[in-house]
Amino acid sequence: MSGEARDSYRPTLEAVATRAGVSRATVSRVVNGSTTVATDKRVAVLRAVDEMGYVPNHAARSLVNHRMDSYALVLTESADRCFSDDTFFPSLVHGVSRHLDEAGKELVLQMINSQRSHDHLQQSAAGRYVDGVMVASALDAGPLTGRLVRMGVPVVVNGRPTGRIPVPYVDVANADGARLAVRRLVESGRRRIATIAGAQDVTGGIDRLAGYRAEMTESGRRPIEAFGDFGRESAIAAMDRLLEEEPRLDAVFVASDLMASGALRALRRAGRRVPDDVAVIGFDDTAVAWHADPPLTTVHQPILDIGRTMARQVLRMAGGETVEPSIVLPAELVFRESA
C-alpha cells in the first residue's frame, strides 16, 4: 500500500473486530460507551482501536440513530446581562459544558433575543440538529419552551417555569434562601428590614420576595419593599428611594449579589456604614459578593451543580428516560462582613 493510500485508509468496525477477535456488534457497543461488554473483550477492542487509529464515524452514526450528540443551552437574557460583572450565567454555562463534555456531547450556546433567533432555534430543534434544549432563564421563555415540548424536543429549564405546559426544571430553594437571610437579620437585632426585590416576571424574583414577606410576617415586622430588575443600576435607584422613604432602616435583603453591590454603592454615597448602620445580605454567592466592599453576606446557590443537573436531566430525556418534574437544590447562608 502506498503512503498516500495508507494515509487515506480509515479502519472500519469490521477491521477492528477482526483485530480484536470479537464481533462487529461488540466493537460497536464498546465505542458507543456501553457498559455491558465483558472486561476482557472491552480491553481487546480498546487495544485494537488504539493500534489501528480507529475514529468513530459520528456523521454516519447520526444518520442511523437520528442523534447529533449536540445540546443547546439557550440564554434568554441579553448578552450584556449574561456576561456582565454578574458571574451567574458563566458559572451555569461552565456546569452544563463540564457534564456534557464528560458524556462526550457537544454544547451549542444560543442567545435568544429576537424573533429571528427564536425561529432559528425552533428550526434547529425541528430538524433534530440538536438532541435537546436547556433554557438558562425562565424570562419570556414560556411560549418558546411550550413550542419545543409540543415538537417532542427534550427540554429542561433553569428556574421554576411560569407557563402552563409542564417542563422539567432545576432550581434553588429561593424562598427558603430569602427566609434564611431575613432570619439572620432579625436574630442580629435589626428592626427595619427592607428588601430590594428582583424582577417579578421570573420565578426567582417572585419566590425570593415571597420568602422575605413570609419571614417578616412571622417575626412581626412590617415589610419594606423596593424593586429592581436584577441589574446594579436598578438597585442603586431602589436603595436611594428606600433611604428617602425609610431613613431609619437598618438592614436590607437584596435579591441578587449584583443588585446588592449597587445597594452598597448607594449606602456609601449616603454616608451609611455597612454593617454598623445598615446590614446588607445578597443572593447567589458569585464573585461579586466575594469582592464587594465589605465582602457580602449572601445566600449561596450551587450554580455549577444546577448546570450539571440540567445537563444530566436533558441527556436522560434524550435517552428516553422519564425524569423528575422538578429538582430543587438547597440554599445556604454564607457569612461575611456585610451582615
- Give me the half-sphere count of Cα atoms (radius 13 Å) on the Cβ side of residue 218: 12
- State how beta strands 106-111 and 155-158 pair: unpaired
User: 211: number of CA atoms within 13 Å, CB side?
Assistant: 27
Residue 158 has pLDDT above 60, yes or no: yes
Mean pLDDT value across residues 175-193:
97
Q: Which of 92, 84, 94 is nearest to 301 (CA)?
A: 92
Residue ranges of the domains in the chain? 3-56, 70-171+304-329, 174-300
Alpha helices in the chain (DSSP H): 3-8, 13-20, 24-31, 39-52, 58-65, 79-82, 88-102, 115-126, 142-150, 174-187, 203-218, 232-245, 257-269, 287-290, 303-318
Distance of CA 84 to the CA centre of its chain: 16
Q: Which CATH superfamily is domain 70-171+304-329 in?
A: Response regulator (3.40.50.2300)
Q: Give the pLDDT confidence score for residue 42 in this predicted structure.
A: 81
pLDDT, position 34: 62
**Residue pLDDT, tens place only, 211-235:** 999 999 999 999 999 999 998 999 9
- In the numeric block, the cell 432602616 is attached to 249
Residue 4 pLDDT > 50, yes or no?
no
In the block, residue with C-alpha cell 416576571: 201
Q: What is the pLDDT of residues 144-156, one digit of tens each?
A: 787 888 888 899 9
Quick one: pLDDT band at residue 161, thresholds 50, 70, 90?
A: confident
For the stretch 52-107, pLDDT in tens is: 877 665 545 544 445 567 898 988 766 556 666 667 788 888 899 999 988 888 88
Write down the pLDDT at residue 57.
58
3-56 and 174-300 share one fold: no
- CA torsion 76-263-193-197 (nearest 10°) is -20
Q: Provide the CATH number for the domain formed by 174-300 in this structure.
A: 3.40.50.2300
Beta 297-300 vs 332-334: how paired, if at all?
antiparallel
Fold of 3-56: 434 Repressor (Amino-terminal Domain) (1.10.260)
